[in-house]
Structure 1
Amino acid sequence: MSLPAQLPLDLGHRAAMGCEDFLVAPSNADAVAWLDRWPSWPAPALTVYGPAGGGKTHLGHVWRARSRAVIVDGAALDRADLPALLARANAVIVESADAVAGKPAREEALFHLYNLARESGGHLLLLSRKPPSRWRVRLADLRSRLKGAPAVAVEAPDDALLAAVLVKLFADRQLRPGLELVTYLLTRMERSLDAARVVVAALDRASLAAHRRVTVPLAREVLADLEREAEETKNGPRNRRTPRHRVRSEQGAG
C-alpha cells in the first residue's frame, strides 16, 4: 500500500446525515450516479449492495434527505403497514432487504410494496450485502420484479477514501492527524467506514483520558484494546485489564 506525500482530500463532498459529509470515491461513484438519477429510475426500485461498512446506509441517508423516504428493516417488513410506508413521501428505504429471502411473509410484503410503489409512482431503495440475484428468493413474481430493477454495487473503500474519511472524522473532533498516523491506521484497522468511526472515537477518548496526543504509539495501544474487546465480545471475557493508555496516565499522575 502506498499513499501520496499529502493526505488525499480531493474527493467530492456532499451533505448527508446532518452535518456530516459524504465522500464520493471510485468505490461508490456508480451508486451515487444512480441516486442522482432519481426520480428518473427505469423501475420503481433500486438495489444498492456491498460489504458491511462500505457506506450503504450513509448513501441511504443521502437519498432520504432528498426524497424524505421512510426507513424500514427487511426483517420487519411483514409486520409493517405497507400503504402507510408510502403514504408520507412515496419513497421507502428497506435496510437489510436481503433479509426477506426465504421468508414467505416477508417476500410477499416486499412484492406488494413494490407493486404499491409502481402503482403510485413511488420508489424503493433496497440496501443489502448481496445483489438480488443471490438472495434465493422463492416467490417467482418477486424474483421477476427484482430482476427487472437496477442493482449497483458499493465496493469496499480504497486507501484514498479511508484516508480522507479518517482525516475528516479527526477534524470533526478538532484533531489534526499526521500522515504517519493515518498510514499506520490504514495498514492495521479493519477496512470499513464503520471501523474508521469506531477507531477515531476510541482514539479521541483515549487521548482525553490519558492527556496524550493522538500519535502512533497511542493508536497502537487503542487498536490492541479494541481487538481485545472484540475477542471478549465474541468468546467471553478472560482476564480483564485496564487499557494501557489509562495505566500509563495513572502512573504518570503519581
Structure 2
Amino acid sequence: MARQLSFDLPAMTALGREDFFVSPANALAVAMISAHVWPGGKLVLSGPVGAGKTHLAHVWAAETGGRIVAAAELTEEMIPDLAAGPVAVEDVPAISGDGEREALLFHLHNLTLAQGHALLMTGQSAPGFWNLTLPDLTSRIEGAQHVALEPPDDALLGAVLAKLFIDRQLYPGPEVIAYLVKHMDRSFEAAARTVAALDRLALAERREITRALAARVLNEGAAGERN
C-alpha cells in the first residue's frame, strides 16, 4: 500500500480544570493549586515533563486572574506589570547560571509578594536541584511551600493518554488505552511520544488506531515498554 504523506499539525491542548484528571498521584498538588492562599504567598510546583505543571498553572491563572511567563523570557520591562497581580513563572531551572534573569526573577519575587500577590514557580525537580547561582534567589525559592506531581498510576496514565488522543482529535477504543497502560513506560513523556507516533503511523497508512497498531508502535521502539 502506498504511504500517505503526513504532516505534523499542532495538537490543540485543552487546559481547563475540567480537562485535568485527578488521581492519588496529583491530588495534593491539585489541592494546593486550588487553595490560592499559600504560606508566604508563594508555591513551587514540580514534576516530570508532561505531568501537568503547565496545565495546573493555566487553571490557577484562570481562577485568580494571574499571568504566566517562562523564566527564560523574563525582561526588566515586564517586571512591574507582572508584579501587579498573581504570576506564575514556568521552568525556573532553565535560567540556572543566567545571572541577569536570576536577578530579574529575584526582583519579580520581591515585588510581587510586597504588593500582596501570589507567586507560583515550576520546575521538573525539587527546588534544591535547580542549581541557581544567586544565593538570595535560591534561599527565597527553597523557603517556599513545595508540592510535587508524582509519576502516574494506572488511572492517571490512562486519563493522560485519552487526553493526548483527544487533543489530536483521535478517539481510539478503550482496549487501545488499556493495552498501552499495561505495556508502555510509566511516564508522561513516554505517553506523549507514543500518542504522537500512533498519530503519524495511522495517518501515513490511513488506518484506525487499534490495539494491533499500538503493539506495533511499542515493539518498534517508539516508546520503551515497561519492564
TM-score (norm 1): 0.70
The CA deviation string for residues 104-151 of structure 1, in whole angstroms up to 9 with x for no partner, is 222211111111111111111101012222223333322332232101
Residue 177 (structure 1) aligned with residue 173 (structure 2):
yes
Q: Which is further off, 156-165 or 18-27?
A: 18-27
The CA deviation string for residues 49-72 of structure 1, in whole angstroms up to 9 with x for no partner, is 121121111111111211232222
Unaligned runs of 5+ in 1: 1-15, 229-254
For 2:117 and 2:108, locate their aligned partners in 1 and report how far apart those are by CA, in whole Å. 10
In the superposition, relative to structure 1, how do residues 57 and 19 fare at CA in structure 2: closer, same or farther (>3 Å)?
Answer: closer
Residue 135 (structure 1) aligned with residue 130 (structure 2):
yes
Q: Which one of 40, 44, 55 corresponds to residue 41 of structure 2?
A: 44
Q: Which is further off, 50-59 or 75-84?
A: 75-84
Residue 67 (structure 1) aligned with residue 64 (structure 2):
yes
Give the letter aligned to residue 191 of structure 1. Answer: R
Ranked by relative contact order (alpha carbons within 8 Å, sequence separation 6 or more), the top structure is 2
In the superposition, relative to structure 1, how do residues 169 and 134 fare at CA in structure 2: closer, same or farther (>3 Å)?
Answer: closer
> By how many angstroms is 1:187 displaced?
4.0
Give identity over the alignment, percent. Answer: 46
> By how many angstroms is 1:183 displaced?
3.4
RMSD after superposition:
2.8
Give the letter aligned to residue 15 of structure 2. Answer: M
- 3-state DSSP class of the match of 1:23? coil
For 2:160 and 2:212, locate their aligned partners in 1 and report how far apart those are by CA, in whole Å. 21
For 1:184 and 1:35, locate their aligned partners in 2 and report how far apart those are by CA, in whole Å. 32
The CA deviation string for residues 192-224 of structure 1, in whole angstroms up to 9 with x for no partner, is 335434533543454455343322221133446
For 2:170 and 2:128, locate their aligned partners in 1 and report how far apart those are by CA, in whole Å. 44
- Are the aligned partners of 2:21 and 2:156 in contact in 1 as well (CA < 8 Å)? yes
Which residue in 2 is equivalent to 1:216?
211
For 2:163 and 2:78, locate their aligned partners in 1 and report how far apart those are by CA, in whole Å. 39
Which residue in 2 is equivalent to 1:11?
none
Residue 24 (structure 1) aligned with residue 39 (structure 2):
no
Give the letter aligned to residue 23 of structure 2. Answer: A
Residue 84 (structure 1) aligned with residue 89 (structure 2):
no
> By how many angstroms is 1:191 displaced?
3.1
- 3-state DSSP class of the match of 1:82? helix
Q: Which has the larger radius of gyration?
A: 1
In the superposition, relative to structure 1, how do residues 101 and 198 fare at CA in structure 2: closer, same or farther (>3 Å)?
Answer: closer
Alignment size in residue pairs: 210
- Are the aligned partners of 1:48 and 1:125 in contact in 2 as well (CA < 8 Å)? yes
> By how many angstroms is 1:23 displaced?
0.5
- Are the aligned partners of 1:167 and 1:177 in contact in 2 as well (CA < 8 Å)? no
In the superposition, relative to structure 1, how do residues 168 and 145 fare at CA in structure 2: closer, same or farther (>3 Å)?
Answer: closer
